[in-house]
């Protein structure tokens, strides 16, 4: 059976986190050479991972982004897929969010996406089917309470995705964003912290039409398709992956 990404070169930011790790594993299984770029090799899961070549990368540092892309250039001369999965969450209203917190989340979620995309573009131009896949969120369309800065960053990523798709589509570079809802990652665990986690998870699952929350594998499946030749005509889109959550109005409890 032909592998979907055989021989491709991919770089995944946040590559040792929950979603990023699953993406690296899927990409490798599909025949790609993968760079897992993250702050720590153990990542947010604090556990060892074997998928992908680890690159230490702070996405807010222009110098580190340039160095990472130089490594890819020296070793392969091309980048076929860039996945911007690095991200954090700040749980606060605007009034409760400090300027330092706001600047920090913007730097990682938005500036990081800008920097990696900017310096990946020369390498992506050497690919026959280059693809950038950003991480938006359903919170870029609608809002969960107490996530003001996070929602703002995801709305910015959505707009940046469409702008890059328009600017670089004539070069054959496809740019998309996936927009997850509730997915079982360390970030979701942080959101549930301080509550009866088992009860809250059950409640979260119950509000979805599919009656379940997503998994990192669900995200990796969509990212893999967007990276592949099967998605050659897919660009400039925000692919919502939320188990139907945002398709419904607020449900009454009967």
Backbone angles phi, psi at 30, to 5 degrees: -95, 10
CA distance 11 to 118: 14
Contact of 90 with 107, CB cutoff 8 Å: no
Strand order, beta sheet including 131-135:
53-56, 33-38, 9-13, 81-84, 131-135, 174-180, 238-241
Q: Which residues are catalytic?
A: 150
Residue that has been written with the tokens 């897992």 in this structure? 36
CA distance 192 to 157: 24
CA distances from 87 to 5, 58, 111, 129 (A): 25, 11, 11, 26
Backbone angles phi, psi at 125, to 5 degrees: -65, -15
CA distance 76 to 198: 46
């Amino acid at each position: 059976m032909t592998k979907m990404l055989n021989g491709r070169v991919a770089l995944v930011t946040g590559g040792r986190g929950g979603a990023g790790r699953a993406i690296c594993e899927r990409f490798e299984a599909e025949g790609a050479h993968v760079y897992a770029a993250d702050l720590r090799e153990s990542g947010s899961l604090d556990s060892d991972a074997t998928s992908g070549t680890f690159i230490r990368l702070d996405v807010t540092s222009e110098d580190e982004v340039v160095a990472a892309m130089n490594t890819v250039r020296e070793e392969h001369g091309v980048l076929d897929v860039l996945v911007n999965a690095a991200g954090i969450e700040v749980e606060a209203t605007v009034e409760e969010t400090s300027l330092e917190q706001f600047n920090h989340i913007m730097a990682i979620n938005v500036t990081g996406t800008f920097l990696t995309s900017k310096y990946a573009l020369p390498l992506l131009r050497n690919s026959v089917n280059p693809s950038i896949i950003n991480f938006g969120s359903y919170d870029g369309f609608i809002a969960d309470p107490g996530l003001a800065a996070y929602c703002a960053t995801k709305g910015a990523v959505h707009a940046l995705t469409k702008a890059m798709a328009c600017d670089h589509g004539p070069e054959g570079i496809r740019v998309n964003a996936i927009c997850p809802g509730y997915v079982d990652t360390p970030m979701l665990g942080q959101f549930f912290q301080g509550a009866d986690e088992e009860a809250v998870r059950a409640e979260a699952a119950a509000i979805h039409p599919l009656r379940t929350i997503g998994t990192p594998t669900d995200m990796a499946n969509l990212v893999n398709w967007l990276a592949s030749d099967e998605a050659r005509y897919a660009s400039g889109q925000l692919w919502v992956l939320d188990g139907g959550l945002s398709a419904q109005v607020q449900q009454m409890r009967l």
